Structure 1
Amino acid sequence: MKIYLATITVCALFLTGCSHNSKTSNIDQTDLQKQQIVLKRNKKKWHQQTKQVTHSTLSTQKIIPKKNLSLNQLKKNSDFLIQGTVIDFSHSSKKSTNASIYVNHIISGSEDILGKNIDIKLPGGIDQNVYYRSTQCPLPKLGQKIILRLDKTHNEYRVLAPNSNIWVEKDHEFVLNNQTIRQEPCLKEITEQLNQAIPYRYTDLC
């Protein structure tokens, strides 16, 4: 009888765990395969656009992060905190580039956009054969996984604090995109917490 009850308990715990994780892994594998095909095509197109351009940098103001900044504040003060994969760049200009992001995981916010593509603007881009690069918010690579804070207004998504609140994957972990402030204590702590919050960050579309 004791063995029977123990077996039921283990099964119940297992099912509870599966239920808890289902919201983070409910991605259509067929759709992932389609995204891989699209991404491969977009990489080739972007390579053609950037292989013969000259490079320049955009001047930006120095960022001084708040010393008491926390992950809970980032969640509270944004509609979404997501982990996604960069699928495409389009409508690029000196000031900004449109980026299509495939949403792999919702850290906070509605799950309505999980497994969907959303369009955002990122600083920098190509204008008249010159690639303008933001030193504080360089464009990620196509296929690279990133973490973003977003607000949504009239079905449009806006990246919040792109110079200090974008993380990119490097060597199987997320790091702050802005290298100049990576060592700030509060941001280092937030980065560690974000890495722990992504249960399947190795979902690979590259």
Structure 2
Amino acid sequence: MDGNGRWATSRGWPRLVGHRRGAERVREIVRACPDLGIRWLTVYAFSTENWKRSTEEVLGLMAIFARYIEREADRLAVEGVRLRFIGDRSRLDPKLQAMMAGIEARTAPGTRLNLTVAINYGGRDEIARAARSVARAVAEGRLAPEAVTEASFAAHLDTADLPDPDLVIRTSGETRTSNFLPWQAAYAEYEFTQTLWPDFTAAELGAIVARFGNRERRFGGVVRA
């Protein structure tokens, strides 16, 4: 969900105004997903590299996350949206961690849409944490070295109970993946749009999904006539 800060500064506003508008955009996109046939949505909210930003911006972002959880918990539950978080929670404020756990429990029965928010998430960090978990399992005799496969390794990732993404969308004109789900997105289709996240509409999402539906996905194989 890139481009919040640039959206705001281009209008002469503080960057946090863009982040607040970006949070509002999440609400619109979440509501549009079921009608587009989307049952799994993951949004990249805060990366492990985002701690490099100013203290004011980081604290402001954390406050926006907290407000989103407070305001959206009941609505998500009523609308059948299950919310989960991926990323390393250990660096987050304990109060925010408790709020995250609370909304996960509150929305657990939801089946209409599975919404995952990546917060303090980095793909390399996730893989390193999974590797440490696998190493401990081997060292403690709970896992044989020869039993370490792609599937058994993936079971130690944050996304162990989530499907791999079919489509990854990057907003704001940037054409890099920025450490987002590198393991899981090995065979995902990609779309890069010039649109800044606060301007990204449900209509544009629908157009991208329609294009995705026309793509031929071979997963390394050959489609035979």
Q: TM-score range by the shorter chain?
A: under 0.3
Higher helix share: 2
What's the TM-score, normalizing by structure 2?
A: 0.22
Larger Rg: 1
Higher strand share: 1
Q: Which has the higher contact order (CA 8 A, sep 6+)?
A: 2
What's the TM-score, normalizing by structure 1?
A: 0.24
